[in-house]
Amino acid sequence: MVSSQNTESPLSSRPASRLCLMALAMATVLVGGLSGCAVGPDYKGAPDASMPVAYKELAGWKQAQPADLKPRGDWWSVYEDATLNQLMPQVQVNNQTVKQFEAAYRSAVAAGDAARASFWPTLSLGLSANRSASNTSNLSGVDNTTTTSRSSVKNNYSQSLDASWEPDIWGKVRRSVEAQDAATQASEADLAGALLSAQATLAQDYFSLRVLDSQKTLYQQTVDAYQKSLTLTQNQYQAGIVTRSDVAQAQTQLLNAQAQLTDLEVSRAQMEHAIATLLGKAPADFSLPVAPLTAKLPGVPVGLPSALLERRPDVASAERAVAKANANIGVATAAMFPALSLSASGGYQNNSFAQWFNAPSQIWSLGASLAQPLFEGGLLKAGQTEAKANYDQVVATYRQTVLGGLQEVEDNLVALRVLDDEAVTRDQAVAAARDAQQLAQNQYKAGTTTYLTVASAQATALSSEVTALQLQGRQFSAHVLLVKALGGGWNGLSGEAVAAH
């Protein structure tokens, strides 16, 4: 008797899907040792940009590093306006432009997750079942007739687990993830910039509205005063003291003031509509009661450090764009190197459903491929050159953003200083105009001058007071723009610097 010998491979006794996964895991470990390098330049931090330690006073330069994640706090609270404090939180919740940037940020986060997925193998499970039949045709040599017979019907059942992986030998995936992470951080900075811009615009519009309210109060008081002057002039005319021209001048002056008061209503309504839009509301659903401008205009701390400029969201976004461009050079460089792909598949295949998952039905395969670009017509080299040129472009954009930010700070610092000096002169002009107005009115009552002198003095006084209110609005606007230029205020300064003003 001849003894039978088992020639089955030891591997065949294991499930095929387990075999392919084990093989792929072993390949992963082997190739992992080759995946320690990433071609292309490593990012060394933000490019050097001229950043003064102080504005025009002190010498010294430092590298600009974005610190956009530093908390800004409720910077608008320095104005001590309760209504503004209530409006500001609504911008973050309801402003539609902010919502756009917030959605863009969430999209960037998802894109980063998608980029990281390339680190891992892909697995797919397949199940199939089909039934087929074939016909057999025979040609008779006697009478040239064809007979057709139907073969037996066949069934086929298969199940497979397929795995594939492209090892990141040259760091292409890592550089792609670096680029996408930088893009995500840039999107986060853009979101912060959009929010800061909306908040600053709201503050400017709010202060403009309050200036209009103060002007409205002034014009209403002026209309009341002109009405009294007209009544006085009419009484004097009836008594034969003044001429008809004095009455006409007083009446004209009153009507002009009433027209200007009406015109203020239009400007105020439009400003109120702008605020409603910033808050994500329809103009019909929003209104602010008339109130004078009572907000406090805080001083600017002496020795304001330029480090606060690094909190600007646009500087942070521009720096992250540099990091992204740097990583893209590595992506373009890695495309020139060979690409290794590993694949494994295992499962069961049988014509009988009952025997589908039996051991003899196992099937498996392992494979590897290596592809090296040989001739692309200069495409890959051009891609690398393009990536390097794009890097140079965004570096220049970053430096220009820093310089532009410095200019904005300097512009508004100068504006605040000049407007402060102008405000002192303007207050003196208002006081002088009021004295001249009172003197003209006294002379008119005494009959020593005409109403033309009174009307001229009143017009000068009104113009001086309106200009003073508008100047106050310009001061608040410049202050808000300075806060915006600094990326959200200077809450992080030491108490000594704030108290030094």
Q: Where are the domains of the chain?
A: 36-122+169-337+389-499
Q: Helix (H) and strand (E) counts for the chain?
A: 9, 6
* Cα(343)–Cα(412) distance, integer angstroms: 63
The angle, 0 to 180 degrees and rounded to 10, between the axes of the packed helices 451-485 and 172-238 is 170
| Strand order from edge to edge, sheet including 122-132 | 122-132, 154-165, 339-350, 362-371
* Cα(261)–Cα(222) distance, integer angstroms: 10
Q: Where would I find the beta strands (DSSP E) of 295-447?
A: 339-350, 362-371
Task: Read off the tokens for 325.
Answer: 């461009």
| DSSP label at residue 448 | S
Task: Read off the tokens for 327.
Answer: 């990583």
* Cα(364)–Cα(347) distance, integer angstroms: 6
In the prediction, which pLDDT does 60 show?
39
Q: b/e string for 146-163 if b means 16 or more Cβ within 10 A?
A: eeeeeeeeeeebbbbbbb
Task: Read off the tokens for 202.
Answer: 């709201």
Listed residue (314, 334, 70) closest to 177, CA to CA: 334
- A 10 A CB-CB count for 377 gives 7
Query: In 239-304, which residue ranges form alpha helices assigned H by DSSP?
Result: 244-278
Q: Which residues of the chain have pLDDT under 50?
A: 1-14, 16-17, 19, 21, 23-24, 26-27, 29-31, 33-34, 57-61, 493-501
* 458 contacts 437 by C-beta, under 8 angstroms: yes
In the prediction, which pLDDT does 111 show?
92
Each residue of 47-56: pLDDT tens digit?
777 666 565 5
Task: Read off the tokens for 451.
Answer: 């109403």
* Cα(207)–Cα(469) distance, integer angstroms: 11
Residue length, the chain?
Answer: 501
The SS3 assignment for 75 reads helix
* Cα(237)–Cα(285) distance, integer angstroms: 50
Sign of CA dihedral 329, 332, 335, 337: negative
CATH superfamily of domain region 36-122+169-337+389-499: Outer membrane efflux proteins (OEP) (1.20.1600.10)
* Cα(190)–Cα(193) distance, integer angstroms: 5
Which residues have C-beta within 8 Å of that of residue 127, sequence separation ≥ 6?
Answer: 158, 159
Q: Supply the pTM of this predicted model.
A: 0.81
